[in-house]
Structure 1
Amino acid sequence: MSGDAGGSFGTVHWPTEIRLKTQEKRLEVDFDDGRRFSYPAEFLRVVSPSAEVQGHNPSQKQTVAGRRHVGIMRLEPVGNYAVRIVFDDLHDSGIYSWKYLYEIGTDQDRLWAEYLEELQAKGLSREPRR
């Protein structure tokens, strides 16, 4: 897709600043259109774009539970279009494109609410298993 075909999600917004707040377990990204998103590590982990979480089609999507305390160990650049996030639970297979980060930032409240509903419906918890 080129230009702004397909609406606002057709345009790729580029990050102007990326801040990993390790102690706060949060990633902050400023984009070139002035939008700023603050992503809790737990949110990024449970919406990981990896095949392990998303599956290869919608029916294979996994609900990731028990990640309330997950942190981010490091970020690894992937070309000039994305970042790989390495979580302290050793999940590292998700490549977060700038487009994906922008989209989940824009939809964060809805995605988080849907995640909490999914957990409840499946009898799962944000707390790690003991």
Structure 2
Amino acid sequence: MSSERWPTELRLAKDRRTLSIAFDDRTAFDLPAEYLRVTSPSAEVQGHSPAERKTVPGKRNVEIIGVEPIGNYAVKLVFDDLHDTGIYGWDYLHQLGVEQQGRWQAYLDELAVKGLSRDR
């Protein structure tokens, strides 16, 4: 799958809690580590079908400890909880930025319905 968007900047904040990404379409996003972790494209989080998707609690203080390029189409993010199996393609990162508010609210709602917390 080829990306129509190309990142022009990718920067991890010094506190390792925000990944900033800018694209050649002039969009730019500051994506919190917690948001990236709970929306990981990995099978561990997404499952192999929508019915298998997991709600990941307890990641409020997660940090990104590594950003590794995957070819010229993606990055692998390594989190301090040692989750490192998600491959974040440029289009997926762009989609996460565009849909951040709605996706984040849906996540918070899922936590509440399931009696889970961002802290544990």
| Distance across 2 between alignment mates of 1:60 and 1:74 | 27
Partner SS state of residue 68, structure 1? coil
CA distance in 2, matches of 1:18, 1:78: 14
**C-alpha distance in structure 1 between counterparts of 2:100 and 2:30, whole Å:** 10
Q: Provide, for residues 17-65 of structure 1, a one-character-per-residue CA deviation record: whole Å limited to 9, x for no partner.
A: 0010141510000000110000000000000000000000000000000
Does 2:113 correspond to 1:114?
no
CA distance in 2, matches of 1:18, 1:37: 10
Which residue of structure 1 aligns with residue 115 of structure 2?
Answer: 123
Length, aligned pairs only: 120
| Structure 1 partner of 2:95 | 103
Q: Is the 8 A contact 1:22 1:72 kept in 2?
A: no
The 8 Å contact of residues 58 and 117 in structure 2, kept in 1 or not, is answered as yes
Alignment-mate amino acid for residue 73 of structure 1: I
**Match 2:51 to one of 32, 35, 59:** 59
For residue 75 of structure 2, what is the amino acid of its counterpart?
V
How far is the alpha carbon of 1:12 from its aligned partner? Answer: 2.1
Identity of aligned residues (%): 56
Counterpart of 1:8 in structure 2 is: none
Taking the TM superposition and a 5 Å limit, the aligned residue runs for 1:87-102 are 87-102=79-94
Residue ranges of structure 2 left out of the alignment (5+ in a row) = none
Normalised to the residue count of structure 1, the TM-score between the two structures is 0.89
Structure 1's consecutive aligned runs of 4 or more residues displaced over 6 angstroms after TM superposition are none
The one of 50, 61, 78 aligned to 2:42: 50
Aligned residue identity for 1:33: D
Retained in 2: the 8 A contact 1:22–1:73?
no
Q: Tell me if structure 1 keeps the 8 A contact 2:13–2:19.
A: yes
Question: Rg larger in 1 or in 2?
Answer: 1
Distance between the aligned counterparts of 1:103 and 1:92, measured in 2?
20
Do residues 72 (structure 1) and 64 (structure 2) align?
yes
C-alpha distance in structure 1 between counterparts of 2:66 and 2:52, whole Å? 28
